[in-house]
Chains A and B, each alone.
Chain A
Amino acid sequence: MAWLDTRQKLEILADAAKYDASCASSGTSKRSSTSGPKGGIGSTEGMGICHAYAPDGRCISLLKILLTNSCVFDCHYCINRKSSNVRRARFTPQEVVDLTLSFYRRNYIEGLFLSSGIIRSPDYTMEQVVEVARSLREDHDFRGYIHLKTIPDADPELIRQAGLHADRISINVELPTRAGLKRLAPEKDTDRIEGAMGSMQTEMIDNKDARKRYRHAPRFAPAGQSTQMIVGADDASDTAIVTRASGLYGNFGLRRVYYSAFSPIPSASAVLPLQRPPLIREHRLYQSDWLMRFYGYAAHEIADAADSVTGNLPLDIDPKLAWALKHRADFPVDVNRAPREKLLRVPGLGVKAVNAILQSRRFRTLRLSDVARLTASIVKIRPFLIASDWRPVMLADRADLRSLLAPKLRQLDLFGT
Chain B
Amino acid sequence: MFCVTLDAPDDFDGWRNAARNLALSKVPAQEVSWHVGASSGDLFGGAALPQVDPSASFAVPRPFVDLAQSAILHSDPERFALLYALLLHVRAGPGVVQDRADPLLRRVDMLAKAVRRDIHKMHAFVRFREIEAVDGAPARFVAWFEPDHHIVRANAGFFIRRFANMCWSILTPECSIHWDGNILREGPGAERGDAPAEDPVEDIWKGYYSAIFNPARLKVGAMMSEMPKKYWRNLPEASLIPDLIAGAQARESAMIAASPVPSKNIEAIPGARENWTELRAEAMTCTRCALHCTATQTVFGEGPADSRLMIVGEQPGDQEDLAGRPFVGPAGQVLNDALAKTEIDRSRTYLTNAVKHFKHELRGKRRIHQTPQTPEIEACRWWLGREIDAIRPPVILALGATAARAVLGKAVTIGKVRGAAIPLPTGQELWVTVHPSYLLRIPDAQKAEEERARFLDDLRLVRARLDGARLETV
Contact = CB atoms under 8 A, between A and B. Distances in A.
A273 interface: yes
Interface in B197-219: 199-205, 207-219
Counting from the closest, the 8 A-B pairs by CB-CB distance are A57-B222, A57-B219, A356-B100, A32-B161, A263-B216, A370-B101, A14-B211, A33-B164
Nearest to B200: A3
A50 B212 CA distance: 14
Contacts of B368: none
Contact of B99 (A53, A237, A360): A360
Given A7-B203, A106-B127, A53 B255 contact: no
B417 interface: no
A264 B259 contact: yes
B192 interface: no
A32 B212 contact: no
Contacts of B163: 33, 41, 105
B165 A53 contact: no
B189 interface: no
Contact of B205 (A50, A103, A272): A103
Contacts of A295: none
B126 interface: yes
Contact of A53 (B215, B223, B382): B223
Interface string B127-155: 11110000000000101000000000000
> Most chain-B CB neighbours within 10 Å: which of A99, A264, A270, A273?
A264
Interface stretch (A58-66, A117-125, A393-401): A58-66
B160 A34 contact: yes
B222 A53 contact: yes
B258 A107 contact: no
Given A60-B209, A364-B101, A50 B410 contact: no
Interface residues on A, range: 35 or more
B252 interface: yes
A151 B248 CA distance: 32
B218 A56 contact: yes
Interface of B: 95-96, 98-103, 106, 120, 123-130, 141, 143, 158, 160-166, 199-205, 207-223, 226-227, 235, 237, 241, 244-245, 248, 252, 255-256, 258-262, 271, 374, 378, 381-382, 385-386, 409-411, 425
Contact of B217 (A32, A51, A263, A364): A263
Contacts of A272: 259
Given A14-B208, A363-B95, A371-B101, A32 B162 contact: yes
A407 to B, nearest CB: 14
Interface stretch (A127-135, A166-174, A194-202, A303-311): A303-311
A18 B98 contact: no
B103 A373 contact: yes
B262 A18 contact: no
A39 B165 contact: yes
B223 A54 contact: yes
A52 B209 contact: yes
B207 A10 contact: yes
Interface in A263-279: 263-270, 272-274, 276, 279
B227 A53 contact: yes
Contacts of A64: 212
Nearest to B274: A183
